[in-house]
Structure 1
Amino acid sequence: MLPSDAYLKKEKKRRTKRACDFCNLKRSRCDGENPCSHCVLINKPCTYLRAEKKRGRASEKYPKNPKRRKDCRQKDVDEYDEYKPDEIITASPVLESNVTEIEKTLVPTNVHNMSTSQSENLDGLHYHSLTKKNLISADYKWPNETISSPSNSSREKTVLIEPHSPFSTPEEHGKGLIYQHQYRPYNSPELISSEYALNFNHYIFSIDANAFKSPTFLKTQHNYSLIDNINLDSITHSAFNGVRYVLLLKVLPYLQQVNLPGNVASDVLEYYFDNYVSPSCKISSILRKKTFLTLVNPVLSAEEQPHVRNTGEALILTILTTAVFDISHFFMTGHKRKMLFGKLIQIIKGLIQISSTDEDEIIDGTFDDIVTCCHLVCISPLLGNPAISHLWLRRGVRLAKKLRINEEDLSDVSEEVREERRRCWWTLYILDKHLNIALSTSTVITDQESKDLFHPCDDSIYNDITIVNLPSPFENDIDRVKGIQFNRVGPGVFGWLLMESMIIGSLVYYKMYIMNQRKISSSSTSPITSDSMGSNDDCSIDFRNQLKVHLDMLESSLPSLLQYSKVDSSYASLVTCVLNSLLNKDVFYWEPNGALNDNGTNFEEDLEWCIKYSEAFQDLITSDPDMRRYPFVIRLYIFFACVDVINLLNNLDKGFLKYKNSNIGALDSKAVKMKADALAVLCNRIKSMAHIIVRCVESCMSTLPADYLRVIRNIIMDALRDMDCLLLVKGFEKQFDINREKRKKIISVYSYVVNGAGIGL
């Protein structure tokens, strides 16, 4: 047989039954020696031996899009895995893939035996075959960092790079040190081009406040060799499954159960304690970053690791679940995020159970269980039932009262422990008032129970890892606020939102009083109007005037907040504007349908309030375009503002009456033109104002979705279309009335009367 006929002897490639979906989709080889990431994570042998497929049956699951890849059996001489074993020293990779493999650790004798002349010729850190295709591929295994000489490319050595904590400072390691800030995901601009990734001097320490990807810091000295900075204690072993923090070693079996690699879990933990962009489900910083982010010492066993805070497994998994929801990470692709979120929730429910709401039942638990309940209050609405949040809140408050964390601990404990107790109790207080107004529930925490507890310290001090001892309100900080105050605001949740929550608590009491005055049964079907409110008696008027005084005190102190944070000032201004609107209207906030059915509403007054809303929303969307700072809290006040906007759009036919006078025919053409121009200006102003509010609703929905925001957004857009038809289509008034009644019927679902659930549907 001629050599040209050798292809006739080639065996026909056939599909085997033991092939994973990941390899089948990529049309690539996966065997026992070089398994793909999918088979490694699920610990499954894969024998799909076909390297490439040109034709085949296409389907929705396996699209007909074969990818041409280089045969892995034909390796170049420049491949990093062709190096001799005696010349390789394993190092911690700069970017770790989602594949966990056992690395062989060798003694770095060759590096220390290098001569001075050899070390002077080393000019940078190089990657081999580092392309964008490698970065996108999930199976790409990062090579060890090597140092190459431009004069002799064949002489290459692998050196160790000392990993450092994300909160290291140059003062801790000496002067003249430069930190390079890189991001782990494959779309990092610093890693696309190997020319710039090789030279450390091109990129000096830079932090992007809008990016929320977990960083990796590399340390080197300017104009010096990297060999001088080798630290033998920083060799990364794979015995801990890639875990970088001691805290995660306690839940390592659970991480393996949910198929979460250790390096990804470390990234998630870093994202939770990020100072710039925190998870959207995290309402406050109860736990301190310095205490929890303790690096693993790779040369020690798990029992010999540095001592960290004794944290419960449920709390650690809850921290990871909170950050998994919206972290931007290459591992969280497709359905992985949803599956991981659900598995973690199931494990947490098995570790901490919801007890009965019976006040006489004895409840046991620790302080970590209270913090876990605080997180689950914010996570529960994502699972489809917002009412579960109140059950977690009641359990956390009952346990907090049993452990008496609402009182100052005068025992011999550290100030950090006292600060954790204060932050946990005031977080429960904020969540209680928030759920009171959102879900139409009764209050669980009274102001009397919080009168003897100091307010938490500033977040910038609490999250500063350079501060070892926190300031004590008994010694150093004599100006710390205690109990219920309305005239002191500051940055952060405990700076301004806590004061707003105290106002909301008073509003809840006012609501309960009005509801008792009305005495509306759950079977009542009569529409609620301003005449049936029953809020005109002397007692209710005095109580409302007192609320206005407290709100004015809070509003007068808001300008001082601007010097600390523009974003916090924008959020506080919007919440204050909504609360002012609720207090100044006859129809109160707990019944949106009552506001829409009120025939005595004033169109000009509603327009004035909506203009104030639009200005506050415009300021907020400029300061925080993604609405990432306080999405869990602010979306409720967005809902209340949108109800007023819908009320304005529903009464457009009344507002247009003065522009459509019946005697308009007797007027001259100039007067008719002036009225038409004024009507056009009014419509454009209303439309512009409504679009600004819709933009904020959509931004908040993209960060933290909610069904009631989606409904309220669609209603506003429908009302805007009716406004255009009311102006352009003759005889549209009848259809406008029909559409208005439909919008009222939809809004009536969010009811705050007896047995009403508010927005907790």
Structure 2
Amino acid sequence: MSGLPEASLEIESNCEGPDRVRRACDRCNMSRTRCSGEIPCRRCLKLNHACGYQRTEKKRGPKPRSARPISAPGLHCDTPGLQAFSSRESKISRDSDADSRSAWKEVVPSPASTAPDSHPNFGALVPSASFNQTLSSDRVTQCWLGALDYGCIPIDLSPFVAGYHGESDTTCRYPCLKPILPLLTGTITPRAACDLLDVFFASDDGIGPRCPYVPSPVIRRKSLLCSSNPRPVSPALLAIILWCVSHTPNLYIFQDANTHHRVTQRLYFLSMDLLGASDSDKPESKVDNVLSFVLLACVISACEFFKEECLGWWSKAVLLVKRFGFNSEARITEHVPLSQQMSLAAREKHEEQRRAFWLVYALDRHLALYFHKPLQINDSECQVLNPLPEWLWQNLDTIRVEDLPLRICGPYTCISGTGFFECFLPLMVILGNIIDLRSRVQRPRLENTDEACLIKSIEASLLNCEYSVQNMRLVNEHTEITISGLTSPSIPSSSTVGDSNRQTTCPTEHQMNLVALYSQYMIRVMHILLYGKWDPISLGNGGWLASPEFDMHTSNSLIIRGLLGQILQMDKDLSFMPFLFGIYLFHGSMTFLVLADRAAQTGLSPLVQEACEMVLRANEISTMAFNTVFQRKLCRALRVTLYKAQN
């Protein structure tokens, strides 16, 4: 080697390829691309992705015998569901056959779609297209259980227990969890499962963690968590509730990110097992099945890579609501004798069905705007009573039947409280009217002679809704319990509800002011959606900028700027409704992108600069909770345009 010239040595050293990094980041590992091994790596830095190294390091080849899990008596049970689940876990170390691999390829999305590690492969467990035509339980079981081929899933399901480190607490505070406790053995402790249920029913008072994917629990807390006679609930819904709540950020239950990741995956596969084996035609499981589909769609919608899977689950929820007749008051009460309709069990069952329908109705409008899809539930199909106020629903067992307020059938547009059905549902009714109007405008071959009348009707609804917000504030200043609205009479006095219930359910002044600010903000966004453009490209059109609608658009945006500043003062991390607020924040911020672009040509005024910076800060805070693509692109475009205008 000493006799070789230096040039040949130099060529030989240059021919060697780049050194292979010891460990790739999670994103590069998922997409099978070369990683630089840095934190953050070059590829994630270039694509503005979140770079992390949270997955478990594994060595190639079979595990040594000393490292293989030893079967423990506490990890086995004679329950058939647990035996089936354990047998599926044992398939992880074996390759599946050719038929399973072919079935897996039909339901798994293409490898080009890279998914974050915090979500399992939702696409593998979504019912096939044939399931849209019928909802028989046999078809459900074949579809779900046939897709559950664990041998193709690269996931570690070795026995472990997530919960409180070093604590052997096997006591269960809530008897409703006993049907699935054997299935949770080796995954989470009974105490951790009870804590997840507490988070599911957490109120919006800002104390303790609250799951953002649960707009409304639908089920009464006292009914499900009763220690003596809990409400019967399907095991599938219990598992899905635990899986949904496990996605709550900053949970103290899990030890680290790796444990959190493994628990969510195991709970998901357990939920699919139980959901596929359940019978959707049982009368006692109707609400449970609808709520299961709703929770699945809500969690999966937060992952931008599984849009079709989310819409698939959502379509099943809408079909079940219509099939069970939750949209008709006559069908809700048809099988109950008149002598039993006043009992607590009957009232609770009927109200659960009403709340399940209105939850699906409201989220149908929200997801239609989010995904640019048509509505699946029309206002003409809503022949059901309005839901009870939240505080009254939670204390239904202490209130007499004759003291319940009179209610009307059909949608309503008046905000009367701080609950989901009291403040968000009326706004979604107006949003549905706007979406219907936009769909008519986009069909030029249809006659739109009544377009002006429809716009005036929507304007009147917005004014009525805004007035109801002011009325809600006035009522809260003079009464202890805020239940008054424009369409509902006064609720009885404190003789029907104890002082303790009133203190725990009555909204505070901070909650009332926060709900009022969010409601006023969304009302202004509805004005923008009614008159403005829904995408930045059409918004920057020269003809639109010269129209009188743009002036109205700008005036509403300036009002939004003031409301957004007050919201950020009261809710600095936008944690009141982070799952729902992102799309409305996006539509309320697009006008400032046009104003910043015009300021880059004519000069940047201090007012426009301050407003753009505030909107930019709000969107950046929102993306910290739910990192959506459209908000990231808006932040990037607004930041670049504002920088050009400043220079």
TM-score, L = length of structure 2: 0.62
The counterpart of 2:418, out of the listed 477, 481, 491, is: 491
Contact (CA 8 Å) 2:413, 2:426: kept in 1 or not? Answer: yes
Structure 1 residues not aligned, in runs of 5+: 1-20, 23-31, 33-38, 44-98, 102-136, 143-237, 296-305, 356-360, 520-534, 657-678, 726-761
Task: Show the counterpart of 2:188.
Answer: 260
Match of 2:364 in 1: 432
Q: Does 1:601 align with 2:545?
A: yes
Structure 1 residue 374 corresponds to structure 2 residue 294: yes
Distance 1:518 1:353, change over 3 A: farther
Of 251, 268, 275, the residue aligned with 1:345 is 268
* Matched position secondary structure for 1:284: coil
8 Å CA contact 1:363, 1:399 repeated in 2: no
The 5 A counterparts of 1:16-35 are none
Write the deviation string for residues 684-723 of structure 1: whole angstroms up to 9, x where unpaired: 2222212222222233223333232222222221221111
Question: Could you say which residue in structure 2 is the equivalent of 1:287?
Answer: 219
How far apart, CA to CA, are the structure 2 residues paired with 1:417 and 1:484?
Answer: 21
Post-superposition Cα deviations, 1:115-152, rounded to whole Å, max 9, x if no partner, equal xxxxxxxxxxxxxxxxxxxxxx976569xxxxxxxxxx
1:596 deviates by: 2.2
Segments of structure 2 that go 5 or more residues without pairing to the other structure are 1-54, 57-65, 67-71, 77-159, 477-481, 483-511
Question: Using a 3 Å threshold, how does the CA distance of structure 1 residues 490 and 638 change in structure 2: closer, same or farther?
Answer: same
Deviations, residues 374-420 of structure 1 (Å, cap 9, x unaligned): 21121112343133332222211211222112223332352111111
Counterparts of 1:602-621 in structure 2, within 5 Å, are 602=546, 607-621=554-568
Residues 141 and 366 of structure 1: CA distance in aligned 2, closer, same or farther (over 3 Å)? closer
- Which residue, 284, 299, 308 being the options, matches 2:230? 308
The match for 1:391 is: 312
The aligned counterpart of 1:560 is 471
State the distance in 2 between where 1:318 and 1:705 align.
Answer: 23
Inter-partner Cα distance in structure 1 for 2:261 and 2:350: 36
1:308 counterpart SS class: coil
Asked if the contact 1:570/1:620 (under 8 Å) is kept, the reply is yes
Deviations 1:57-106 (A, max 9, x none): xxxxxxxxxxxxxxxxxxxxxxxxxxxxxxxxxxxxxxxxxx989xxxxx
What is aligned with 2:498?
none
8 Å CA contact 1:561–1:568 kept in 2: the answer is no
**In structure 2, C-alpha distance between the alignment counterparts of 1:716 and 1:415, rounded to whole Å:** 52
Distance 1:469 1:406 in 2: 27
CA distance in 2, matches of 1:461, 1:600: 48
**Aligned counterparts of 2:73 and 2:563: Cα–Cα separation in 1:** 51
Distance 2:244 2:287 in 1: 18
**Which residues of 2 match residues 394-413 of structure 1 at below 5 A?**
394-408=315-329, 409-410=332-333, 411=336, 412=340, 413=345
Alpha-carbon distance in structure 2 between the residues aligned to 1:471 and 1:484: 25
* Matching residue within 441, 447, 461 for 1:514: 441
Change in Cα spacing, 1:140 to 1:497, as seen in structure 2 (3 Å) is closer
Partner Cα separation in structure 2 for residue 434 and residue 354 of structure 1: 30
Aligned residues of 1:422 and 1:455 also touching (Cα < 8 A): yes
In 2, distance between residues paired with 1:581 and 1:313? 44
User: How far apart, CA to CA, are the structure 1 residues paired with 2:565 and 2:301?
Assistant: 27
Q: Indicate conservation of the 8 Å contact 1:415/1:469, yes or no.
A: no
Map of 1:5 onto structure 2: none
2:98 aligns with: none
Residue type at the aligned position of 2:172 = V
Q: Is the 8 A contact 2:326 2:354 kept in 1?
A: yes
Higher Cα radius of gyration: 1
Residue type at the aligned position of 1:463: Q
Matched residue type, 1:386: K
In structure 1, C-alpha distance between the alignment counterparts of 2:472 and 2:598, rounded to whole Å:
37
Partner of residue 580, structure 1:
527
Which of 597, 614, 620 in structure 2 is aligned with 1:650? 597
For residues 138 and 511 of structure 1, the distance between their equivalents in structure 2, rounded to whole angstroms, comes to 52
**Which structure's residues are more often helix, by fraction?**
2
Local SS of the residue matching 2:428: helix
Cα distance between partner residues in 2 of 1:647 and 1:377: 34
Letter in 1 for 2:384: L
Q: Which amino acid aligns with 1:555?
A: E
What code does the residue aligned with 2:274 have? L
Q: How far 1:372 sits from its partner (Å)?
A: 0.8
RMSD of aligned Cα (Å): 3.5
Q: 2:200 aligns with which of 272, 287, 305?
A: 272
- Give the Cα separation in 1 of the matches to 2:180 and 2:167: 26
Q: 1:41 deviation in Å?
A: 10
Cα distance, 1:478–1:330 mapped onto 2, change above 3 Å? closer
Amino acid in the other structure paired with 1:572 = S
**What is the CA-CA distance between 1:329 and the residue it aligns to?**
0.7
Provide the rounded CA distance (Å) in 2 between the counterparts of 1:382 and 1:345.
16
d(CA) in 1 for partners of 2:167, 2:271: 33
* Pairwise CA distance, 1:430: 0.3
Residue 595 of structure 1 aligns to which amino acid in structure 2? Answer: L
Per-residue deviation, 1:253:
2.6
Q: CA deviation at 1:478?
A: 4.0
- Tell me the alpha carbon deviations over residues 477-503 of structure 1, each in whole angstroms, 9 at most, x when there is no partner: 343343122245332111121111111
Matched residue type, 2:519: A
Find out whether 1:501 has 2:415 as its counterpart: no
Quote the Cα distance in structure 1 between the aligned partners of 2:412 and 2:645. 45
Counterpart residue identity of residue 270, structure 1: D
CA distance in 2, matches of 1:470, 1:572: 29
| Cα distance in structure 1, aligned partners of 2:423 and 2:405 | 20
Q: How many residue pairs were aligned?
A: 440
Contact 2:527–2:556 (CA<8 Å) still a contact in 1? no
Amino acid at match of 1:709: Q
Structure 1 residues 597 and 335: CA distance shift in structure 2, 3 A: farther
How far apart in 1 are the matches of 2:359 and 2:559?
A: 29
Residue among 446, 455, 460 paired with 2:378:
446
**What CA distance in whole angstroms lies between the structure 2 residues aligned with 1:455 and 1:491?**
15
1:687 to 587, 609, 614: 609
| 1:355-388 C-alpha deviation (Å, 9 max, x unpaired) | 9xxxxx9999732101111211211123431333
Give me the TM-score of the superposition, normalised by structure 1.
0.53
Q: Quote the offset at 1:352 in angstroms.
A: 2.9
CA shift, 1:610, in A, is 2.8
The corresponding residue for 2:579 is 632
Letter in 2 for 1:618: G
What SS class does the counterpart of residue 584 from structure 2 fall into? helix
Report what 1:336 is aligned to.
259
For residues 284 and 138 of structure 1, the distance between their equivalents in structure 2, rounded to whole angstroms, comes to 28
Post-superposition shift, 1:425?
0.4
Change (3 A) 1:253 1:390: same
User: 1:594 Cα deviation (Å)?
Assistant: 1.1
Deviation readout 1:580-608 (Å, 9 max, x if unpaired):
122233xx32x442112344415866553
Q: Is the 8 A contact 1:315 1:371 kept in 2?
A: yes
Map of 1:141-152 to 2, 5 A cutoff? none
CA 1:40–1:636 in 2, change beyond 3 Å: closer, same or farther?
A: farther
Aligned letter for 2:411?
I
1:183-232 deviation line (CA, Å, top 9, x unaligned): xxxxxxxxxxxxxxxxxxxxxxxxxxxxxxxxxxxxxxxxxxxxxxxxxx
Of residues 446, 453, 461, the one that matches 1:542 is 453
